[in-house]
A and B are shown apart, each in its own frame.
Chain A
Amino acid sequence: MNRQVRVLRAGLMTTVQDLGRPATRHWGVPVGGAMDQLSHRLANRLVGNSDTAATLEMTLTGDVLQWEQDAVIAITGASLRAVMESDNRPEKLLMPGRPWFVPAGSRIQFGTVQRGCRSYLAVSGGWDVPIVLGSRSTLQRSQLGGHCGRALRAGDILTYADAPESLTSRISASRPDTAENSNWYVQLFHPPAATGTVLRFLPGTHFPRLTNESQDVMQQSEFAVRMESDRMGYRLQGLPLRFSESLQIRSEAVIPGTLQLPPDGQLLLLMADCAPTGGYPRVGHIISADLPLAAQLKPGDRFSLCEVSLLEAQEALRLQEQQLAAAVHLARLNSGV
Chain B
Amino acid sequence: MQNSPKPDNATAPPQIAFLSDSAFLVTWESESDKQVAESVRIGWQQLKQSGLQGVTGLVPGFASLAVHFDPRQACAQDLQVALRATLSTHTATFVPKPRQIRIPVNFDSSVAPDLPEVSRISGLPEQECIRLLCSAVYTVRMLGFAPGFPYLSGLPDVLAIPRKSTPRLQVAAGSVAIAGGMAGIYPRESPGGWSLVGRTTVSLFDPARLNPCLLEPGDEVIFVNTGTQQLDTRSFV
Whether both chains belong to one complex is answered with yes
Give the distance to chain B from A86, nearest Cβ to Cβ, in Å.
38
Complex contact A25–B25 (CB within 8 A): no
| A145 vs B71: C-alpha distance when bound (angstroms) | 26
Q: Taking chain A's interface residues, is the majority helix, strand, or loop, or is none over half, making it mixed?
A: mixed
A205 proximity list for chain B (CB < 8 A): 17, 19, 25
Instruction: For B63, give the chain A residue with the smallest CB separation.
Output: A250
B216 proximity list for chain A (CB < 8 A): 26
A314 proximity list for chain B (CB < 8 A): 21, 71, 76
| A27 vs B216: C-alpha distance when bound (angstroms) | 7
Interface residues in B, total, Cβ within 8 A: 41
Complex contact B72–A317 (CB within 8 A): yes
Give the distance to chain A from B146, nearest Cβ to Cβ, in Å.
6
Interface residues of A in 123-176 (CB under 8 A from B): 132-133, 142, 144-145
Given contacts A22-B57, A288-B71, are A28 and B19 in contact (CB under 8 A)?
A: no
Task: Tell me if A251 counts as interface (CB < 8 A to partner B).
Answer: yes
Give the distance to chain A from B179, nearest Cβ to Cβ, in Å.
12
B146 proximity list for chain A (CB < 8 A): 28, 142
Question: Which of B118-126, B137-145, B220-228 forms part of the interface with chain A?
Answer: B137-145
A-B CB contacts (within 8 Å), total count:
113
Given contacts A23-B56, A25-B57, are A257 and B144 in contact (CB under 8 A)?
A: no
Instruction: For A258, give the chain B residue with the smallest CB separation.
Output: B20
Complex contact B56–A253 (CB within 8 A): no
Given contacts A28-B144, A142-B146, are A285 and B20 in contact (CB under 8 A)?
A: yes
Complex contact A253–B71 (CB within 8 A): no
Task: Tell me if A29 counts as interface (CB < 8 A to partner B).
Answer: yes
Interface residues of B in 1-56 (CB under 8 A from A): 17-23, 25, 44, 56
18 contacts between A and B (CB under 8 A): A23-B56, A25-B57, A26-B142, A26-B143, A26-B217, A27-B213, A28-B148, A142-B147, A202-B20, A205-B25, A252-B61, A253-B23, A253-B25, A275-B144, A275-B145, A277-B61, A317-B21, A317-B72
Instruction: Give 5 nearest A-B pairs by CB, closest first.
Output: A253-B66, A285-B20, A28-B143, A22-B56, A27-B213
